[in-house]
Amino acid sequence: MKLTKAQYDEIAQFLGHMQPTRQSLRKLKEKFPSQSQSTLLSIFSQEYQKQIKRTHAKHHTAEAIETYYQRYLNGVMKNAAAPVLLELANEVDFAPSLMARIVLERFLQEKEDTVPSKTLINSMLRDPSQIPDGVLANQVYQCTVNDCCYGPLVDCIKHAIGHEHEVLLREMLLEKNLSFIAEDQLRAKGYDKTPDFILEVPVAVEGHIIHWIESKASFGDESSHQAYLQDQFWSYWNRFGPGLVIYWYGFIEELDCHRERGILLKDCFPTDIVTLRHSMA
């Protein structure tokens, strides 16, 4: 679903006054009933991540970390079963999974008298039963399952959705009898930055030649699209020629401004593909 910049800004402004909870997501759907739920969910997640990045530093000062840790200890001392970490995260407007990471790292640092590795932290966040403290393990678990936008559970869901759309795109290409080389095949040949699929025979979409297709299971907003252009799309264009990006959950239509330079945006698989065989018939 494509949105105008004005439509997107209205949604983003509405989200700016809300906490990232499931209740907020329901309110968002009620406010914008004509918009796709998957599009709203993607925007909801992206806007929250922007907010977290803006405030990330203030939550990681030595003073903030110690304050959070002491509040956690005092909270569980009063009631170990209460969702102390989750409520603390909501109170200071920080992602529950990231709050859990801060307190877990501080706990392990005190217990082991050394800074724990990221590998260890990530492993414990994925499986809280590894945490050598039952109360903290339960607190971390509560944060993980109640975080809409961050944490190992969300990462798994995003990875699965991304893979699902790549499989869907592969099936559509096969259905159209289009020969292609997939990303894993390109990586095996030594390419570092590669699109999801390179077409062995270029096609035309809406009058534009397409050599490659990239699948994005997200909404294309300005910040994410600019980052993708810089880190991926222009690299693909330099190496493989013009291509197509599919933002399955929509994009801001004003961003589709590089067609003449060779990057086309769509929110679905194109239905008007012109192949070499068709053009010769």
Residue 133 has what pLDDT? 95
By residue range, what is the domain housing residue 13? 2-55
Closest CA to 65 of 24, 106, 28: 106
83 touches 139 (CB < 8 A): yes
pLDDT higher than 60, residue 226: yes
Angle, CA of 263, 266 and 271, to the nearest 5°: 115
The total of structural domains in the chain comes to 3
Q: Clarify whether residues 161 and 273 are in a common domain.
A: yes
Q: Clarify whether residues 176 and 86 are in a common domain.
A: no
pTM: 0.87
Choosing from 119, 150, 181, the residue where a domain stops is: 150
Residue 195 has what pLDDT? 94
Predicted confidence (pLDDT) per residue in 117-176, tens digit: 999 999 999 999 999 999 999 999 999 999 988 999 999 999 999 999 999 999 999 999
Q: Clarify whether residues 81 and 167 are in a common domain.
A: no
Q: Clarify whether residues 159 and 274 are in a common domain.
A: yes
Q: Clarify whether residues 17 and 92 are in a common domain.
A: no
Q: Clarify whether residues 211 and 261 are in a common domain.
A: yes
Choosing from 116, 150, 184, the residue where a domain stops is: 150
Directed axis angle between helix 118-126 and helix 134-145, to 10°? 80
Choosing from 14, 33, 55, the residue where a domain stops is: 55
Which residue(s) pair with 205 in the sheet? 208, 273
Q: What percent of the chain has pLDDT over 90?
A: 82
Q: Clarify whether residues 209 and 246 are in a common domain.
A: yes
- Across the chain, mean pLDDT equals 92
Tokens 């003073």 found at? 63
| H, E, C per residue of the chain | CEECHHHHHHHHHHHCCCCCCHHHHHHHHHHCCCCCHHHHHHHHHHHHHHHHHHHCHHHHCHHHHHHHHHHHHHHHHHCCCCCHHHHHHHHCCCCHHHHHHHHHHHHHHHHHCCCCCHHHHHHHHHCHHHCCCHHHHHHHHHHHHCCCCCCHHHHHHHHHHHHHHHHHHHHHHHHCCCCEEEHHHHHHCCCCCCCCEEEEEEEEECCEEEEEEEEECCCECHHHHHHHHHHHHHHHHHHHCCEEEEECCCEEHHHCCCCCCCEEEECCCCCCEECHHHHHC
Take residue 111 and report the two structure tokens written for it: 């217990």
Q: Clarify whether residues 141 and 160 are in a common domain.
A: no
Residue 181 has what pLDDT? 93
Q: Clarify whether residues 265 and 179 are in a common domain.
A: yes
Q: Clarify whether residues 184 and 143 are in a common domain.
A: no
Residue 281 has what pLDDT? 41
Residue 245 has what pLDDT? 98
Give the mean model confidence (pLDDT) for residues 15-31: 83
Residue 149 has what pLDDT? 87
- Residue 105 binned pLDDT confidence (cut-offs 50, 70, 90): very high
- Residue 277 binned pLDDT confidence (cut-offs 50, 70, 90): low
Q: Clarify whether residues 232 and 170 are in a common domain.
A: yes
Produce one character per residue of 155-172: b if its CB has 16 or more CB atoms within 10 Å, e if not. eeeeeebbeebbeebeeb
Residue 276 has what pLDDT? 67
CATH number at residue 265: 3.40.1350
Q: Clarify whether residues 21 and 66 are in a common domain.
A: no
